[in-house]
Amino acid sequence: MSGERDLLVRLAEGPVSGDALARAVGQTRAAVWKRIETLREGGVRIDAQPGRGYALTAPVELLESERILARMRQAGSVSALEVAWSLDSTNSELLRRKAPAQGTAVLLAEQQTGGRGRRGRHWASPIAANLYLSVSRQFSGGLARLGGLSLVVGVAVAEALRQAGYDGVGVKWPNDLLAGGAKLGGILVEGGGEHAGPARAVIGIGLNVRMPADFAATIDQAWTDLARLGVDAPSRNVLAACLLDALLPALDLFDDEGLSPFLARYAALDVLAGRAVTVHGAQGDEHGIADGIGEDGALRVRMGQAVRRVHAGDVSVRAS
């Protein structure tokens, strides 16, 4: 167990003096102070007051694999579920491992030191604040069938969040979750395999739950988190279970039937539909009106009398 995690567990119980904290975790006061500073740098707010000692300024809930599995209806589909303290990224770690022969492997982390979004963009990953979740599984039918996978994941996550009471969550093509026009989360699909044979995919989901103010200052786009959308503080363990319960059956259905069963569900969540968009491509910027997605997952954009099909691999799209 990480030394920083040990400290958080003790701090979650209430204020504690430096001496008592050092005894509880079996370290010197100097070592404890260094770990406290590491937690602060990772976004955990910890006060230190004379006569009171160290105290968390807001409650912190740590992820626990047993609690997540106990809340899941789809736990039987999970080949393994692991919670790590700190990783470069959950996707990178699962890509280093073999995909399970059966079922789905699930990996979560309390912190990512190299969290990645689409096209290698940095993903802010403070300690024990948000959800950083990746799954690994095999798919039949080859790599060509995986083109719409990020859309399927977006549908499953958005539907789960709406069912949990977070109204207004939608999907922005090809891999973003939005609420109120601001980014709530993102999806990153990576993998490999044979063109026509078995393929493996690692699917990463980053979801803003309670973003610390210090980390929020580094984000260069409009963003939101679940704490801003709901009245009650969301439990990350319950959220992880809800997302997995929605995601795992969706992946099974996609493996069996492809994107077709998700087209109408996507349309109900599509935040770009009917909006003016700018397509940023190799030929420069082009403007049009978003018109849903095609059967292959391509974004349809009306440009004058023509309809352009835009694929995730060649452009980025931002609402005008």
Q: How does pLDDT run across 96-133, given as a tens digit for each residue?
A: 999 999 999 999 999 998 766 555 565 667 899 999 99
Q: Structural domain boundaries of the chain?
A: 3-56, 65-267, 276-319
Identify the active-site residue in 137, 183, 236, 265: 183
Q: Does residue 184 have a pLDDT over 50? A: yes
| Other beta carbons less than 10 A from residue 229's beta carbon | 19
pLDDT at 198 over 60: yes
Query: For position 196, what pLDDT does the model report?
Result: 62
pTM over 0.85: yes
200 included as an active-site residue = no
Highest CATH level, class, for 3-56: mainly alpha
Q: Which has the minimum average pLDDT: 70-79, 223-232, 253-262?
A: 223-232
Give mean pLDDT, residues 74-90.
Answer: 95
CATH tag, 276-319: 2.30.30.100
Is 183 a known active-site residue? yes
Binding residues for biotin: 89-91, 112, 116-118, 183
Give 274: exposed, middle or buried? Use CB within 10 Å, 0-12, 13-18, 19+.
exposed
Alpha carbons 234 and 239: distance in angstroms, whole number: 7
Pairing of strands 176-179, 182-193: antiparallel
pLDDT higher at 125 or 169: 169
* Amino acid 255: pLDDT: 94
Rounded Cα distance between 317 and 320, Å, is: 9
Check 10, 45, 118, 228 and give the catalytic one.
118
Domains 65-267 and 276-319 share a fold: no
Residues in binding site: 89-91, 112, 116-118, 183
Superfamily (CATH) of domain 65-267: Bira Bifunctional Protein; Domain 2 (3.30.930.10)
Q: Which of 29, 34, 73, 318 is catalytic?
A: 318
CB atoms closer than 10 angstroms to residue 269: 21
List pLDDT tens digits, range 235-285: 999 999 999 999 999 999 999 999 999 999 999 999 999 999 998 877 788
Q: How confident is residue 206, by pLDDT bands cut at 50, 70 and 90?
A: very high
Distance CA 174, CA 272 (A): 10
